[in-house]
Amino acid sequence: MTDRVPGFDTLAIHAGQEPDPTTGAVVPPIYATSTFAQDGVGGLRSGYEYSRSGNPTRTALEECLRALEGGVRGLAFASGLAAEDTVIRTLTRPGDEVLLPNDAYGGTYRQFAQLHDRWGITSTPVAVTDPDAIARAIGPRTRVVWLETPTNPLLNIADIAAIAELAHAAGAKVVVDNTFATPYLQQPLELGADVVVHSTTKYCGGHSDVVGGAVVTDDEEVAEQLGWHQNAIGAVAGPFDSWLVLRGLKTLAVRMDRHSANAAAIAEQLDDHPAVSEVLYPGLASHPGHDLAKRQMRHFGGMISFRVKAGEQAAVDTCGRTKVFTLGESLGGVESLIEHPGRMTHQSVAGTALEVPDDLIRLSVGIENVEDLIDDLDQALRG
């Protein structure tokens, strides 16, 4: 062994996961326990007292997430939205404002517009593709600039480094929802963001068998406050869910390579397809965020959105005709999924500034044989 900093794929398999000290088990056990025996009052054997405050399986996951995002602390939650809620309660107070992508994940938008708003935290939608617009939108009450990149479902790309610089100059923190890219494809903390959030339900878990969330920060003070809020709110990841996400992370690098390669090939095919009017994929040279994505991402990821020429009903019918792609919400699993954002994942933003085109189809490209995926889409589009 050298003193070299371990590579991402090595950390994904080993960070936080020393063989179990009592048995030598190479995989961290699922510590299905709510409480821990004490040696005399206040005498903790291993630092654990109660599993909301801390559980060894969750600690293994949190340490792995921390290492992969390059932060000082990782925290695991019961869902992505639970993670987001904890971040906002940590970073804001009534009267504060948050800038939000104008095509944010629908559930994120709903949490801000309908929940945080009630407690006096206002949110303002902005175009994350335009740093100048963000600079103009930042006001004295702006505490947080919330970014997604690529965005869901329009695959817009935000310049994390440029936005972090202008947000910090105005005294605001930058939170990046890194769910679509994953730490393998994009490292927001290194680019200047303060906090990264994930729905680990998606690529981190990677097998569509768990709902979870994560937060990583490289700011010691924020880390301390996040830890307090995680325990006070209590929306923590359970031991079994933590174990599933930890297992998923081991193969994150190889899965993302394959998701990205498959998606790139499919995007090219769709781009030439007679039934398709527009393909939204940052890997295509025609995508407005292509050069930026090339700078700040390792590959372009597994998500593609596209519009069909024949309109909404044709888009809905196409989604119903695929045989390898499963019609369903969510994303980031090994199996390919297809959906109609307007009527499914993004129904909650209908009639708002965040409404998506009704002829839009979103793909979560899995790691199946790419020819099978291409043929399947072609027959579905031809009808």
Ligand X SMILES: *Cc1c(COP(=O)(O)O)cnc(C)c1O
Catalytic residues, by residue number, are: 52, 105, 177, 202
Q: Which of 28, 74, 107, 183 binds ligand X (CB under 6 A)?
A: 107
Query: Which structure tokens are listed for 329?
Result: 């919400």
Phi, psi of 243 (to 5 degrees): -65, -40
Nearer to ligand X, 365 or 381 (CB): 365
Q: Which of 65, 193, 210, 211 binds ligand X (CB under 6 A)?
A: 211
Nearest to 87 by CA among 66, 67, 116, 107: 116
Q: Which of 51, 55, 156, 201 binds ligand X (CB under 6 A)?
A: 201
Query: Which structure tokens are listed for 110?
Result: 């709903």
Pairing state between β 276-280 and 97-101: unpaired
Q: Which of 85, 103, 148, 359 binds ligand X (CB under 6 A)?
A: 148
Burial degree of 227 (CB within 10 A; 0-12, 13-18, 19+): middle
What is the nearest approach in angstroms of ligand X to the Cβ of residue 66?
Answer: 19
Nearer to ligand X, 57 or 201 (CB): 201
Q: HSE of 106 in the Cβ direction (CA atoms, 13 Å)?
A: 17
Q: Does 79 bind ligand X (CB under 6 A)?
A: yes
Angle at 346 between CA 376 and CA 302, to 5 degrees: 45
Residue 186's contacts (CB-CB under 8 Å, 6 or more residues apart) are 149, 160, 178, 296, 297, 298
What is the nearest approach in angstroms of ligand X to the Cβ of residue 133?
Answer: 21
Q: Does 103 bind ligand X (CB under 6 A)?
A: no
Question: Is 216 in contact with 69 (CB distance < 8 Å)?
Answer: yes
What is the nearest approach in angstroms of ligand X to the Cβ of residue 332?
Answer: 8
The region of 41-49, 104-112, 225-233, 259-267 touching ligand X under the rule CB under 6 A is 104-112
Handedness of CA 24, 27, 28, 29 (dihedral sign): negative
Q: Does 152 bind ligand X (CB under 6 A)?
A: yes
Nearer to ligand X, 303 or 308 (CB): 303
What is the nearest approach in angstroms of ligand X to the Cβ of residue 199?
Answer: 3
Taking CB under 6 A as the rule, which mask of x and - marks residues 26-65 in contact with ligand X? ----------------------------------------
Q: Does 81 bind ligand X (CB under 6 A)?
A: yes
The region of 14-22, 52-60, 73-81, 363-371 touching ligand X under the rule CB under 6 A is 73-81
Residue whose structure tokens are 């939608």: 125
Nearest to 235 by CA among 180, 204, 197: 197
Q: Which of 36, 105, 109, 325 binds ligand X (CB under 6 A)?
A: 105
Taking CB under 6 A as the rule, which mask of x and - marks residues 314-353 in contact with ligand X? ----------------------------------------
Pairing state between β 142-148 and 173-177: parallel
Question: Is 334 in contact with 302 (CB distance < 8 Å)?
Answer: no
The region of 54-62, 175-183, 291-299, 336-344 touching ligand X under the rule CB under 6 A is 175-183
Residue 276's contacts (CB-CB under 8 Å, 6 or more residues apart) are 270, 306, 307, 308, 309, 381
Residue whose structure tokens are 């700011």: 219
Q: Does 112 bind ligand X (CB under 6 A)?
A: no
Q: Which residue is nearest to ligand X (CB)?
A: 80
For the beta sheet containing 195-199, the strands, ordered from the edge strand earlier in sequence to the opposite edge, are: 73-77, 213-217, 195-199, 173-177, 142-148, 97-101, 122-126
Q: Which of 177, 218, 241, 376 binds ligand X (CB under 6 A)?
A: 177
Taking CB under 6 A as the rule, which mask of x and - marks residues 282-301 in contact with ligand X? --------------------
Nearer to ligand X, 82 or 380 (CB): 82
The region of 79-87, 273-281, 286-294, 374-382 touching ligand X under the rule CB under 6 A is 79-87
Question: Is 340 in contact with 316 (CB distance < 8 Å)?
Answer: yes
Which residues are near ligand X by CB under 6 A? 79-81, 105, 107-108, 148, 152, 177, 179-180, 199, 201-202, 211, 213
